[in-house]
Structure 1
Amino acid sequence: MAEAAASPAAPGKIYFHVHLVSDSTGETLSTMLKATAARFEGASPLEHVSTLVRTRKQMNEVLARIESSPGIILYTIADPALRRHLEVKSAELQLPAIPVLNPLLNAFASYLGLEQTMQIAAQHTLDENYFQRIAALDYTLAHDDGQMLWDLESADVVLVGVSRTSKTPTCMYLANRGVKAANVPLVPTNDHPPELETLKKPLVIGLTASPDRLVQIRESRLKNLDQQQAMEYSDASAVRQEVTRAKRLFLRKGWPVIDVTRRSVEETAAQIISKLSAKRAGHD
């Protein structure tokens, strides 16, 4: 069993304890906490993460920590006895204990007419989907930043864009979802790679961003790399020309375009996955 707690980082915020209790890795709870806490500005959770909680002794240790730092309890516990033990103690402490997956599980069980499995960490089973994600990660790493252009036809998605349009992080996010993603940078001093002209299978998407935003990002990168001499890389006029040239290419090729200026990597990836699903369903 592993346990960790976050510490306050900034004054002026309301801090509150949240205990994440899981018989597995706790990834689901962490994701749900982040999504929920983001809706409450000015409040910041102090996370106490207890994972691989599978015995009564381990649960008692968790409950002792909860009692010493009272707060909201989010949990995913498959074992009915352990779950009941947690629920009873939290009721005694008058603390909210929320089984975050229950509404989903109950809805699925009702709709499907099937019973739920009590298998712990079933989502982490080494099944076909797991190996698909590993294969996608291997492919994406090998085809990052214009590598192995001769093998782009085997990609699910190919992202094309000028420097600093989040191509690599978006590809990595997609790979974690089992999507084989490659990315090709557009270099202002060269024509785009001819391999892009003949692609049939992959969904090719152009990524663009506001020139002003790109200038900011590139200037910051140059400072971190101590490369002040590379002025053209962050020159506003040159960057505008880069973006315009890229957009003309996207338009000529008929590739869908996503502006990442105000989008997170997750939002960009979600839009790409939606477009890929439509393509596979024959709706493009």
Structure 2
Amino acid sequence: MEDQVVDETKSPETESDPVVFVVSDAIGETAEAVARAALSQFNSGRVRWKRVPHVKDVAAVLDVIEEARGKKSAIVYTIIVPEIRAVMQKEANRFGIPHVDIMGPVLDALSRITTTKPRLEPGLVHRMDEEYFRRIEALEFAVKNDDGKDPRSLVRADAVLIGVSRTSKTPVSLYLAQRCYKVANVPLVPEIPVPRELFEIDSSRVVGLTVDADHLERIRYERLIAMGLDPQSSYADRQRIETELAYANGIFQKIGCPVIDVTNRAIEETATRVIQILGARHAKDKDRR
């Protein structure tokens, strides 16, 4: 007969079926996956599963033992904290309940070969997974909102970088996305109207990027040459550059946003300064509450 996995809460009439208790100080996915993989090797009939997540103390372990001791049961568990794991082992042995410690032996083995101690923090894998997906989401946001592509999304940004061309808006946005910040950037060009949404969001989330005119002229000149374009183009014209910078400065003042001078700054330095600005805003928000 093929194994049947039954949710205990939905099948009250199957009390005689064996029960696998899946116990974890996180959500129990790892323990259940291992147990299900093992069970697939048996033609053992109906089996009920009971997952007990977020076991953080001895009392929760004793509750599981109390329920399991009266049934044909086994306990499969992933518990990080040694003291709680020890209680599970001791009590399961005391009542003759078959039990499998999935995490303990692995932690011990890795401790020996790495010569370091484990952090003993439950749920780290899931927190890392969550951070990974937040980072991917932030990167997608940065790409979709690069160069002012979607002004309607500015309201969802953690930060909006504004400035003239070649002030590092895009690389800083992508760097911050790696730190899980959703960042949009909007170019400031005298001939192109500024999106109205830029004036509707909290000005403390807007960060202006400016640069020394000499430095910008040199960067733009080199950029044109690298692209095989005429270096005498208005893009690198000194008067044009000063006009753009003056226009951008006027927008900064109108919005009332903080401004960072990126002249000779590394991308990481600028990004760190943006994070500091965002941190100051969050601190003020907390004070208001």
TM-score by length of 1: 0.57
Q: Provide the secondary structure at the position in 2 that maps to 1:191.
A: coil
Q: Give the residue type in structure 2 aligned to 1:157.
A: A
Equivalent residue for 2:119, pick from 111, 116, 130:
116
Q: Does 1:153 align with 2:155?
A: yes
For 1:264, the aligned partner's letter is: A
Question: How do residues 43-82 of structure 1 correspond to structure 2 at under 5 angstroms?
Answer: 79-82=110-113
1:242-261 superposed matches below 5 A: 242-261=244-263
Letter in 2 for 1:145: D
- 8 Å Cα contact 1:152-1:199 kept in structure 2: yes
**Conserved? CA contact 2:203–2:257, under 8 Å:** no
Any conservation in 2 of the 1:156–1:202 contact (CA below 8 Å)? Answer: no
* Structure 1 alignment gaps of length 5 or more: 1-77, 85-101, 106-114
**Deviation readout 1:183-221 (Å, 9 max, x if unpaired):** 000113223222212123870010000011111111111
Matched to 1:135, the amino acid is E
Change (3 A) 1:264 1:149: same
In structure 2, stretches of 5+ residues that fail to align are 1-108
> Matches of 1:126 and 1:146 in 2, distance apart?
31
**CA RMSD for the aligned pairs?**
2.6
In structure 2, the partner of 1:188 is 190
Number of residues of Structure 1 aligned to a counterpart in Structure 2: 177
* Partner SS, residue 258 of structure 1: strand
More displaced 10-residue stretch of structure 1: 157-166 or 221-230: 221-230
Q: Structure 2 counterpart of 1:79, which letter?
A: L
Q: Is the counterpart of residue 282 in structure 1 residue 284 in structure 2?
A: yes
Q: Confirm or deny: 8 A CA contact 1:153 1:201 kept in the other structure.
A: no
In the superposition, relative to structure 1, how do residues 205 and 81 fare at CA in structure 2: closer, same or farther (>3 Å)?
Answer: same
- Return closer, same or farther for 1:229/1:209 CA change in 2, 3 Å cut-off: closer
Matched with 1:178 is 180
Distance in 2 separating the partners of 1:137 and 1:210 = 29
Change over 3 Å in CA distance of 1:220–1:134 after alignment to 2: same
Paired amino acid for 2:120: T
TM-score of the two chains, using structure 2 as the length reference: 0.56
Amino acid at match of 2:257: W
**Aligned counterparts of 2:113 and 2:211: Cα–Cα separation in 1:** 50
Task: Please say which structure displays the higher CA radius of gyration.
Answer: 2
- Secondary structure of residue in 2 paired with 1:116: coil
The 1:161–1:131 alpha-carbon spacing in structure 2 relative to 1, beyond 3 Å, is: same
Matched with 1:168 is 170
Percent identity of the aligned residues?
42
Q: Call closer, same or farther: CA 1:179–1:212 in 2, change over 3 Å.
A: same
1:93 alignment partner in structure 2: none
User: Cα offset for 1:253?
Assistant: 1.6
Q: Is the 8 A contact 1:156 1:201 kept in 2?
A: no
Inter-partner Cα distance in structure 1 for 2:121 and 2:192 = 57
Q: Counterpart in 1 of 2:223?
A: 221
**Distance of 1:242 and 1:171 partners within structure 2:** 21
Cα gap change, 1:153/1:204 in structure 2, threshold over 3 Å: closer, same or farther?
same
Query: Residue 78 of structure 2 aligns with which residue?
Result: none
Deviation at 1:170, TM superposition (A): 0.1
- Please give the alpha-carbon distance, in whole angstroms, between the structure 2 residues aligned to 1:124 and 1:201: 34
